Amino acid sequence: MNLLVTGAAGFIGSTFVRTLLDDGYPELAGARVTALDKLTYSGNRDNLPADGPRLTFVHGDVCDRELLRRVLPGHDAIVHFAAETHVDRSIEGADEFFRTNVLGTDTLLNTALHCGIQRVVHVSTDEVYGSIEEGSWTEERPLLPNSPYAASKASSDLVARAYWSTHRLNVSITRCSNNYGPYQHPEKLIPLFITNLLEGEHVPIYGDGCNVREWIHVDDHCRAVYLVLTRGRSGEVYNVGGGNEQTNLAVTERLLELCGADRSAIRMVPDRKGHDLRYSVDDTKIRQELGYEPRIPFERGLADTVAWYRGNIGWWKSTKHAAG
C-alpha cells in the first residue's frame, strides 16, 4: 500500500507515521508513506525518521493544488491530519485556520477525487460539538462550535461529508478528545505546563481551572485512526475517546507532583473568550464496530510524558522558544 499522510511532521501525524514505519499497524505492514507537511511552527522534520526506503518526505501545503496533482497519483489512501489547531491562536486571528482547515481540506479531497484515491480518513476533533454540561456526545449530535478553530474544523468535516454524499468519495471522519504524549508542541496545556515547571516557571490556569477535558494518549488515538482507515465505513463519523475526564486544575496538580513543584507555581489568569466548559464523547460506535479501546491509562501515560520531556530538553527548548 502507498499511503499519503498530511501534517505528517506534527505531533499526531508523526506519531502515526513512526508507528506505521515500525510496522505497529498489522494491516499496513510494509506500506510506503509519503509524508506531506508545510513545516509551520508546529511541524518539525526531526519528528520523522531522517530517511528510509519506505518514507518519502514532501515539503508542501495542502492548499497547493498543483503540488497535490503531482504527488497524489499512485497512492491508495490518504490520512489527513494537517490542520491549524490552537484555540488561542485562532482567537487572535482566524484567517489561517479557515484557509488551511477548510480550503485545504477541499483542495485535498477534490484532488483525491480526480486522482482516483481509493480511501481517505479526515481527522477532526470533539471541539466541533461545542460544550456539554452532562452526558456525552454521540456522532449524531449537532455541530455547535464555539471557537474559530472549532468552527474551521466543523466546516472541514462538512466539506468531507459533502464529498462523500455528492461524489461518493470513500471518506470517513474521526473526532477525537484531547491528545497528550511525546512530541507535542509546547503551546498545548500539558507540554506547556511540563516545560514551564522544568524551567522553574509558573503555569497559567484559565478562570477557576474547572474546565473538564477528556484525555487520550496519542498512541491510542493513532491506533483508532488506523482502525478507521482499514475497517471503517465510508461516510461515517467515529468518535474517539480516552475515557478519562479531568479538570484542568486536577491535571495541573498531578503535573506539579511529577515535576517536583508545589501549588505556588500556579497562576490563575483571566478566562479566555468562549472557553468551553466540558468535553465528553461517547465512543461506543468505534468500540463496537472496530474493536477499539484505549490501552494507556492516563496516570501512566502522563508520567511517561513528563519523563519524555525531561529526557528531551533539546527538542522542546528549541521548539518552544522559537515559537515565542
CB neighbours of residue 61 within 10 Å: 19
Question: Would residue 309 show up in a list of annotated catalytic residues for this protein?
Answer: no
Q: Is 28 helix (H, G, I), strand (E, B) or coil?
A: helix
Q: Which of 84, 126, 219, 220 is catalytic?
A: 126
Report whether 119 contacts 112 (CB < 8 A).
no
Give the separation between CA 211 and CA 195, rounded to whole angstroms: 21
Question: Which residue in 252, 264, 258 sits closest to 198, CA to CA?
Answer: 258
Give the separation between CA 324 and CA 315, rounded to whole angstroms: 15
HSE, side-chain direction, 13 A CA sphere, residue 279: 30
Give the separation between CA 52 and CA 85, rounded to whole angstroms: 29
The three grid cell numbers given for residue 283, joined into one nine-digit string: 465512543
Report whether 51 contacts 39 (CB < 8 A).
no
Q: Which are the contacts of 34, defined by CB distance < 8 A and separation ≥ 6?
A: 2, 3, 4, 5, 56, 57, 58, 71, 75
Give the separation between CA 126 and CA 144, rounded to whole angstroms: 11
| E strand or H helix at 245 | strand 245-247
Give residue 322's Cα distance to chain centre: 21
Question: Would residue 27 show up in a list of annotated catalytic residues for this protein?
Answer: no
Q: Which of 127, 157, 220, 276 is catalytic?
A: 127
Using H for helix, E for strand and C for coil, what is the string for 269-324?
Answer: ECCCCCCCCECCECCHHHHHHHCCCCCCCHHHHHHHHHHHHHHCHHHHHHHHHHHC
Q: Which of 25, 129, 149, 180 is catalytic?
A: 149
Query: What does the radius of gyration of the chain's CA atoms come to, in whole angstroms?
Result: 19
Question: Would residue 236 show up in a list of annotated catalytic residues for this protein?
Answer: no
Determine the angle formed by the axes of helices 104-115 and 148-167, rounding to 10 degrees: 20
**Residues with catalytic roles:** 126-127, 149
